[in-house]
Structure 1
């Protein structure tokens, strides 16, 4: 027969001694020693504790014994709590017990132990079948053990909190000296694995990071009606808990938020259904907020550093672009800086034309653009871009570019329009085949760079237009006489030969007197267009003065030049309204004979005079 007082005093003395060693041993060691001492004091066959600790997310259900292995079944926290509520303080284990089996020739008692703040559990005490057990003694033992466990669990939890806070303090100290976001994530990942070593973790980030060791995923946002818990945590900046009864797991999603925004979400995957208490929820929230602020600081630091670097690059690029370059040199400079900054596969500089006839291509692909843009696919893509820019001239960044009926071969596309005042005059297209290759920061940088490039290109166009104006007749758009003189002189300084033709509109004063000067100007424009259409590469047409036109044909014989002059004369008769005719003089030069530009002009003018005085509407060669 058990002596209740003796057992009670003996147990108190043993447990009093154990309380002084709590800091020296792990919780498991302490519980195993408790089992051994109870077994000896109670003269029991075996002692087993089956405990549920709601504050211990790592391992909420645990068991300890005076002998191993232990024949117990692990219940889920929810099943355990339900079973715990069903039981009285002391019951006898029967065949239907869900945790342990009834032993043959032995009697097992189930004693409830409970502390509202820390734990709920059972103590299984097994005696031989012939041993006389007092329920009064067991109740006294239960109360004493419950008091000891309250002290043990409280102290162990305080130790856990101190260690955890120390880890957070160490992490916070380290993060203050970190300037790279990826290093923040690495240190964060190392620390949380120390705090919860048995869980799985995923970092759901709003932007990509180049790191193969961290479990980084991009936040998924499909735009559908049902959002994932991770996306909800990111959008609402609130911790989300998901219980998956099918997979028997718990997922916690805590936003990594700073003062200015949310930068990602920590997903904690627990391979069982656990009950989350406010203390743990608050800790995880504070932990991820601290990391979120560190990410915000490093992001701002990196952004400012990148901004300084970008400004330096743009400063150098602007200097290069402002060196009074021509269009091809500007294109090469633009291409060089874009390749250095974002390493694309293709760069195209496209000018839009405002004066093309309907049905013709309305753009020019500048020399220096990469080869893709001159292929059939490239031209088809440019046509698509041209139509899109006419409708909505806004910059485009796409990581998965798709357009109906177009195979661009490239997934990542940046399209930046070039503006002059309030009109768009072209685009710069940057492409790479890897999806989502260009970051948004690179996109913003290229936009800034293109603004400077647009100014340089526009200035080059104005410069070219000014040069063209200086050598072009305002009315007919043919070259001026000075430009023609210069070009003929340049060729005559080299070896070779050439032909010179002068045209004069017959009776042009009569046209002006009959139809007026406005119609007279229209006739001159018609004649100029006919002459222009007859010109081949390297040939020059100019307005000689008044109603006279001149044509220079390099490497052309007298017979060939005469034939060309007659063809122009015949087309003028057929197509001008009102109809006019031309008289023409033709002369040639060759390096075999000493000659000058002035002498060539005089000979041709003499031939023209002969044509005018011998009936007009004819071509005369200077023999």
Structure 2
């Protein structure tokens, strides 16, 4: 069969220009290959012609088009030692399959450019055996012409794809710069890559990421043997490759780089590939750089918003705390602010006295009032009193001194006023590394700005206590007692009053001296404080006379308390003394007053001293109230 070059060359070129998009100068590659094969089938009068592209990285021949209807696509692995690859001088394989898997084809035309295999035309002969009549030289020219046409079509097709990619990049850049939401930026990176490279797999490896990005393939960037290339990309800011010929997987790691640093790494995985396609590296690099700048802007924006919110919080807190709150109100307000800002599970406020012994304020959360908090308080108190520095512990599992490891994250900040350590605030959470370093800095600022208000509240309450407290016995003053009893008459249903006098106190002073006499007064006062409730009032009535008022307490309970005090003083005082007590009681509905209450207790005390001392006497007007 004698082929006329001018005829078949013109037909092939005509099919090329027929499919050319004149407006854009591009060609639809898949359509063109199909048309080319159909033209060749007619020219050569064959049954089927298949075009298989050679993938250098995968070392495979991949079926791209056929002159007849074909279902799906297939691939054929090519050994580098096969004649198709090695014998570059051989232009035509006729009745001699160049590699396993092509035995069904009578003729194989290698398509080469600069001695490099581009693909093959695998040709099946029809029943007439038309291929026998074609000269090899003519087939070689045909293969060369097809190679040129396919290269031209591929080049024009690639230009269209490149334009599409860079339009995508331009669109994505516009979207990046219009958004300050980090999740939106990350989502757009993945969606763009999936659109451009649907066959690749992607992961975003982010450093110090604590957010929950729903549905996005995000991993933490950690240094380990499997992520050496990722860490190298993160540290150097340059693209890294990782190829596995054994597993036929190639990975690219592109740093998400901004002007101020690297914020993560984009991992792109190409499966069934020995070497990552070099033509795709530049686009991925540009996308990663654009995304890195967008991430930086989003992060800076979020940081600025957080800083503004932090300053507002500090300003609001300082303003509130400087409004002369009581200590309990100050601590409760601080606790609420810390709970709202840090999502802490437990919040404690520990004061340190002159002996550096810790005391937990009642406004602390429940955990700090339980025994299982002791190891935390002991450890923190020791560290803060020695170092006088804020303490940040990401995971208490490494602290042997803390026996109970329930709460893994700790932040503790000392409260220092004019070089005096007043105490510290501590926040806890069960999750390790729950608190960020930014949270730690914010807590320091909050405590620093609130320490003055805290110290002022403590000082004010100490001064108030000094005004209403007897300096020797630490019992309340007579004036404070009078105020509380007057208030009780207005709001309570009843109340019991006990007036006590230390028997023969003058003898104690004359025998042991006034200093010992003062010590005896303190002993009796301490016994009173230990045997009454926090709502009861122990007071120094005057001299060696002491008083106790029990608001809303019936006479029978008051009798039990007074008798217990008489017994305790007799048993524990040193030098040994005794007390005499007089008791009175009021109840709503009776015509009574505070003045009458005092007078009746004083009369009962007088009878107790006259009738032998070391006893309790209830005024006869009140004894009728006993059950």
Tell me the equivalent position of 1:111: 110
1:386 and 2:377 are equivalent in the alignment = yes
- Shift of the 302–354 alpha-carbon distance from structure 1 to 2, 3 Å rule, reads closer
Per the alignment, do residues 71 and 80 of structure 1 end up closer, same or farther by CA in structure 2, a change over 3 Å counting? farther
Matched, 1:419 2:415: yes
User: Alpha-carbon deviation of 1:40?
Assistant: 4.1
Aligned counterparts of 2:169 and 2:515: Cα–Cα separation in 1: 88
What SS is found at the alignment partner of 2:75? coil
Label 1:256 to 1:224 Cα distance change in 2 as closer, same or farther (>3 A): closer
Q: What are the ranges of 5 or more consecutive residues in structure 1 without an aligned counterpart?
A: none
Residues 128-165 of structure 1, C-alpha deviations (whole Å, 9 max, x = no match) = 37723433333333433334444333333333323222
The alpha-carbon distance between structure 1 residues 177 and 99, as it changes in their structure 2 partners (threshold 3 A), is farther
TM score, norm. by length of structure 2: 0.77
Consecutive unaligned residues of structure 2, counting only runs of 5 or more, are 385-390, 621-627
Distance, in Å, in 1 between the alignment partners of 2:252 and 2:319 is 53
Matches for 1:87-106 after TM superposition, within 5 Å: 87-88=87-88, 89-92=90-93, 97-98=98-99, 100-103=101-104
Deviation at 1:291, TM superposition (A): 0.5
Structure 1 residue 561 displacement after superposition: 6.6
1:470 & 1:130 partners in 2: Cα distance? 120
Of 121, 124, 136, the match for 1:123 = 121
Deviations, residues 141-199 of structure 1 (Å, cap 9, x unaligned): 34333344443333333333232222212221222211211222233233222321232
Paired with 2:118 and 2:280, the residues of 1 have a C-alpha distance of 18
Pick closer, same or farther for the CA change 1:597–1:427 going to 2, 3 Å.
Answer: same
CA shift for structure 1 position 320: 4.3
TM-score normalised to structure 1 length = 0.78
Between the aligned partners of 2:100 and 2:158, the Cα distance in structure 1 is 26
CA distance in 2, matches of 1:443, 1:240: 35
> Is residue 33 of structure 1 aligned with residue 35 of structure 2?
yes
2:577 aligns with 581
Shift of 1:327: 5.0
User: C-alpha displacement at 1:310, in angstroms?
Assistant: 4.0
CA distance in 1, matches of 2:451, 2:594: 42
Distance in 2 (alpha carbons) for counterparts of 1:492 and 1:73: 100
d(CA) in 1 for partners of 2:181, 2:279: 31
- In the alignment, the residues of structure 1 paired with residue 484 and residue 422 of structure 2 have an alpha-carbon distance, to the nearest angstrom, of 35
Question: Which among 509, 523, 527 is matched to residue 526 of structure 1?
Answer: 523
Cα distance between partner residues in 1 of 2:371 and 2:176:
51
Which whole-Å CA distance do the structure 2 matches of 1:399 and 1:176 have between them? 42
Residue by residue over 1:283-332, the C-alpha shift from the partner in whole angstroms, topping out at 9 and shown as x without a partner, is 31221111111011012112212332343345445444444444554565
Q: Residue 349 of structure 2 contacts residue 425 of structure 2 at CA under 8 Å; is this kept in 1?
A: yes
Secondary structure, aligned partner of 1:178: coil
Cα deviation, 1:374-420, whole Å, max 9, x if unaligned, reads 9xxx9355345324423545245679999997585xx8966554634
1:468 paired residue among 465, 469, 477: 465
Contact 1:199 1:268 in 2 (8 A): yes
Counterpart residue number, 1:550: 547
Over aligned residues, Cα RMSD in angstroms?
Answer: 4.7
Task: Number of aligned residue pairs: give it.
Answer: 598
Matched residues in 2 for 1:203 and 1:385: separation?
38
Match in the other structure for 2:164: 163
Distance in 1 separating the partners of 2:160 and 2:396: 50
Which structure 2 residues correspond to residues 505-516 of structure 1 after superposition, within 5 A? 506-508=504-506, 511=509
1:271 equivalent in structure 2? 271
Once the two structures are TM-superposed, the CA of residue 576 in structure 1 deviates from its matched residue by 3.4
